[in-house]
Structure 1
Amino acid sequence: MVEPADTPHRERLDKFLFHARALKSRTLAQKFIETGAVRINSERTERPDRKVGPGDVLTMQLHGRIVVWRIIDPGTRRGPATEAAGLYEDLSPPALPKG
């Protein structure tokens, strides 16, 4: 199936998390998603093959804190960290102080 030219590029959720360097491998991303730890636009998903694209908001508990990302570009590869950081806008709440 070919997407129309005006349709924004969408990518599998597991690939996006891998491209954005949230997790070290697609396999880890798939397992993470299957636990139900990710919400897309406030809707819980357990499907690694769920398509995401620009404007979608991901909420997840990652590395011991709540992370909220708005997708800017789903990406096409796992590039350097600076490139990965450009794939999303971080809307995460500030970390709680340790004490």
Structure 2
Amino acid sequence: MIAAPPTAPSLRLDKLLWHLRFAKSRSVAHAMAERGHIRLNGRRVEKASCAVRAGDVLTLPLGEEVRVIRLRTLPARRGPPSEAQACYEQI
């Protein structure tokens, strides 16, 4: 029997938005994801449970601006802003 290939670690989109401090609460992050305005690797996302992995590119409408970020690593927790900003790079 052949073992399944290991999958890369992932995190729910709403939890990621909260951990990276793009949303003040998890419920706000959930609503942001469900609105359908966020893109993951160029594809529209309509589910907060969508899996996000390191290396993915997110397009986020935040107020009057649109931010495009590439995830370097997945955050382990919702830490201070400096810790959150170290997990992604602005494109």
Q: Same fold (TM over 0.5)?
A: yes
Partner of 1:30: 30
Q: How far apart are 1:8 and its partner, in Å?
A: 3.0
Q: How far apart are 1:73 and its partner, in Å?
A: 1.2
Q: Distance in 1 between matches of 2:23 and 2:64?
A: 13
Partner of 2:88: 88
Q: What count of residue pairs does the alignment treat as equivalent?
A: 87
Partner of 2:14: 14
Alignment map for 1:48-87 (pairs within 5 Å)? 48-87=48-87
Q: Distance in 2 between matches of 1:22 and 1:64?
A: 14
Q: Do 1:10 and 1:51's aligned partners in 2 also have CA atoms closer than 8 Å?
A: yes
4+ aligned runs moved over 3 Å, structure 1? none
Provide the alpha-carbon RMSD of the alignment: 1.3
Question: What residue ranges of structure 1 are gaps of 5+ in the alignment?
Answer: 92-99
TM-score normalized with structure 1 length: 0.82
Q: Distance in 1 between matches of 2:8 and 2:75?
A: 12
Q: Distance in 2 between matches of 1:16 and 1:74?
A: 8
Percent identity (aligned): 41
Describe the SS at the equivalent of 2:21. coil
Describe the SS at the equivalent of 2:17. helix
Describe the SS at the equivalent of 2:60. strand
TM-score normalized with structure 2 length: 0.89
Q: Distance in 2 between matches of 1:64 and 1:79?
A: 26
Q: How far apart are 1:27 and its partner, in Å?
A: 0.4
| TM-superposition CA deviations, 1:32-59 (whole Å, max 9, x none) | 1111110000000111000001110000
